Amino acid sequence: MSLEAREFKQVVDEIIPLIGAANVWDYLPVMRWLDVSGVRSRILATVSRRDAFLHRLIDAERPRMDEGEKKSMIAVLLTLQKTEPELYTDQMIIALCAVIIVIGTETTSSTWAMSLLLNHPAALKKAQAEIDASIGTSRMVTADDVPRLSYLQCIINETLRLYPAAPLLLPHESSADCKVGGYEVPSGTMLIVNAYALHRDPAVWEDPTAFRPERFKDGKGDGLLLMPFGMGRRRCPGEALALQTVGVVLGTLVQCFDWDRVDGVEMDMTEGVGITMPKAVALEAVCRPRAAMRDVLQIKLLGISYVQ
């Protein structure tokens, strides 16, 4: 891992727990200015480090803008900065990058799919067989393949049902007085949707705590309340990118390696504390390159050469 990658990972690891940390001022707003627990100062320090890191990325991109290569997101934003400098300021570009890179990578990397598959080896073998039948063993899974892998899609849907990346969706505000479930909700009330509870509601889902990817087979899950990315026009704008990224990564891991639990012990599925609900116990597993994929892996696997 490069020094830049280490620095970025450290910043993300520090900032995510702070976003979901409980503060005294949540209950006593008057305490906001005192910062008794020191959360505010830690957030400001971490955000400052994050912004400095992203500013270096922007500065490094400026000289490459006119080299004719395929443009990065930062390069596109810097191009827009030339025509609308008052809108596309460096600070605005930093903010956009922070949302996409920091929040996007943390939620995607927190997916529980591999832990679930290791605890359900039959589902893992079924996903592997589907990839072999659809793609073969002469190349690795690509983004174009993911929509055609129906069982892999079922696994992703079932994973996000049981362990949504954000169990409590982003806060919304009621635009008018209304009555929901017998409760009066005044206009201007902050509303937080518990997607985790909705996804495990026995009135909607049969055997809601069980891992059953087949419940989404052939559109069976259509119309049920699955909302890991929210709903309507306020749903997460990164949904398509997240699903594509998870599909490619999970598909590649399943296709290229045989997986086993360490000493045969089941994965600990205890839920940690945080805004993205991380695992309390980090995933550890044994993987071996599949014999059928060895030639492909020897050429290249995610940019890292595999040596037999």
Distance in angstroms (rounded) separating the CA atoms of residues 104 and 126: 29
The residues near 129 (Cβ < 8 Å, ≥ 6 apart) are: none
The answer to whether 61 touches 78, Cβ cutoff 8 Å, is yes
Type and span of the H or E element at 190: strand 190-191
The type of residue at 149 is L
Structure-block tokens of residue 34: 């005192």
- Cβ atoms within 10 Å of 247's Cβ, excluding its own: 22
**Biggest CA-to-CA distance, the chain:** 66
Backbone angles phi, psi at 238, to 5 degrees: -95, 10
Best CA proximity match to 276, nearest among 198, 163, 173: 163
Question: From residue 169, how far is each of 31, 201, 275 by CA, in Å?
Answer: 26, 16, 9
Q: What span, in angstroms and rounded, lies between the C-alpha atoms of 133 and 258?
A: 16
Look at residue 143 and give its three-state secondary structure: coil
236 is in an annotated binding site: yes
Return all residues near 41 (Cβ < 8 A) that are at least 6 apart: 35
Sign of CA dihedral 263, 265, 267, 273: negative
Tokens representing 274 are: 């945080």
Q: Which of 116, 43, 71 is nearest to 268 (CA)?
A: 116
CA distances to 108, 183, 192, 236, 244 from 249, in Å: 10, 43, 30, 20, 9
Which residues are documented as binding site for heme? 236
Which residues are documented as binding site? 236
